[in-house]
Structure 1
Amino acid sequence: MKSNNDIKRHILDATVKILLQGVDPELITVRKIAQKANIAIGLINYHFGSKEHLILEAIQTVIENVSEEGVQILTDNQVAPSLRLRQFLTKMSEIVLHYNAYSKILLKHELLSDSFATPTYILGILKEIDPNLSENEVRMLAIQVVAPMQYIFMKENGFLNYQDLDTLAYQKIIEIHLKRLGL
């Protein structure tokens, strides 16, 4: 007999597989998840509280898996810290744009919750760039780096219209943004 953790993991894995098939998260039903996982529908609410919470966890899993390469960039001490920051932000922008629907769900969740998960990824690199900053200054700088990028991604079409652009040139945006912040 499987443990509760095994069952929960199995349900999460089945939901990730559905997402990776390209199914719009809004169209995923509890019945479809239960069929894919070969479990009773009630187990979804028992282990995750709601379909929405399960889908959020599944999306987080997908994005975390594809983001590993970006996170690795931050630890490559052979590259200057300011260049690593740019490479990391570029890689994460590519992921956000590729997984647009999933990213918007995660960004919305982070922006509307008490979570500050995204800025924490770059705290170390910002401290490397300017070791004289206090912990609070580094944390504020991380928010200043990340929040405008999140805003632009959440409102991509509006931003394109506002800037009178055809496509989102994220590398140029990152460079302009970091330059304005003195990074």
Structure 2
Amino acid sequence: MSKGSDNANTTKENILNTTLELITTEGLENVTLRKIAASANVNLALINYHFGSKDKLVNEALKRLLASLKKLFIILDDFSMPPKERLKTFMIQYANSVLQYPALFREVLGKGDLIFESQFEYKDYMRTMGVNKIKDTLKEITGEEDSDTLSMMMVQLHSAIFFPSLMACKKNAPLVWKQIPIETQIDYLFEHYFAKYI
């Protein structure tokens, strides 16, 4: 790889990382290409050269974040850990990602005004693989065979973790959600939710 392409990759990485940070701190609707350029210490033409538009840049940033989330599902395939530990580890890391980028997660969940191609890719992954990995792990933990029951359990667990995680990022969130670490919340949930399966 030539030095020029190394510099281009570094610049592109800088722009993507800056975009993610600005979306996190200011919200997607408040981020402009000018703000990104100023924060990344690059000129606007360079952003246009690498990405073409704000939508394409945000889509690429979302794609990067969602790719990292897909990698978390590998935890559920690590059969050297007991199933409950796999699920707990997965949920802690997933929740920490939500806490790191709450504005992006609201967009991914369709709570924002913008729609990006990467949202559809991630939702398709969840529908075809992610949901099944979670349900299979729940089946291992509980012995439950009914797919609808496993789906309901998955929704309940996700709601119990991700709703507080998203709420903790809001300025006017109840203090308790901000004070209790997500690991502690998940430990407590698992102790009670899976008590009869120990």
Superposition TM-score tier, normalisation by shorter sequence: 0.5 to 0.7
Q: Is the 8 A contact 1:82 1:129 kept in 2?
A: yes
After TM superposition, list the pairs within 5 Å mapping 1:87-98 onto structure 2: 87-97=89-99
Q: Which range moved further: 152-161 or 135-144? A: 152-161
Of 124, 127, 144, 1:132 maps to 144
Task: Specify the alignment match of 1:83 in structure 2.
Answer: 85
CA shift at 1:174, angstroms? Answer: 0.6
Could you give the per-residue CA deviations for residues 28-83 of structure 1, whole angstroms, max 9, x where no partner exists?
A: 42895763251695xx4xxxxxx457525522422422662x32221111111011
Helix, strand or coil: the match of 1:79? coil
**150, 156, 159: which one pairs with 1:147?**
159
| Map of 2:8 onto structure 1 | none
Unpaired runs of at least 5, structure 2: 1-10, 38-43, 112-118
1:48-127 paired onto structure 2 within 5 Å: 51-52=54-55, 55-56=58-59, 58-65=61-68, 68=71, 70-97=72-99, 99=100, 102-110=101-109, 112=111, 117=126, 120=131, 122-127=134-139
Contact 2:92–2:186 (CA<8 Å) still a contact in 1?
yes
Higher relative contact order (CA 8 A, sep 6+): 2
Aligned-residue RMSD, C-alpha? 3.6
Distance 1:166 1:153, change over 3 A: closer
Q: Distance in 1 between matches of 2:55 and 2:64?
A: 14
More deviation, 112-121/171-180 = 112-121
Contact residue 134 and residue 154 of structure 2 kept, 8 A: yes
- CA apart distance, 1:107: 3.5
Task: Find 2:49's aligned residue among 16, 38, 41.
Answer: 38
- Residue 143 of structure 1 deviates from its aligned partner by 0.6
Q: Given that residues 138 and 150 in structure 2 are in contact (C-alpha distance below 8 angstroms), is that contact kept between their aligned partners in structure 1?
A: yes
The share of aligned pairs that are identical, in percent, is 16
Greater share of helix: 2
**How many residues matched?**
157
Q: What 5-or-longer segments of structure 1 have no aligned partner?
A: 1-12, 45-50
Q: 1:127 to 1:17 in 2, by over 3 A?
A: farther
2:98–2:162 Cα contact (<8 Å) kept:
no
Matching residue of 1:20? 17
Contact 1:123 1:139 in 2 (8 A): yes
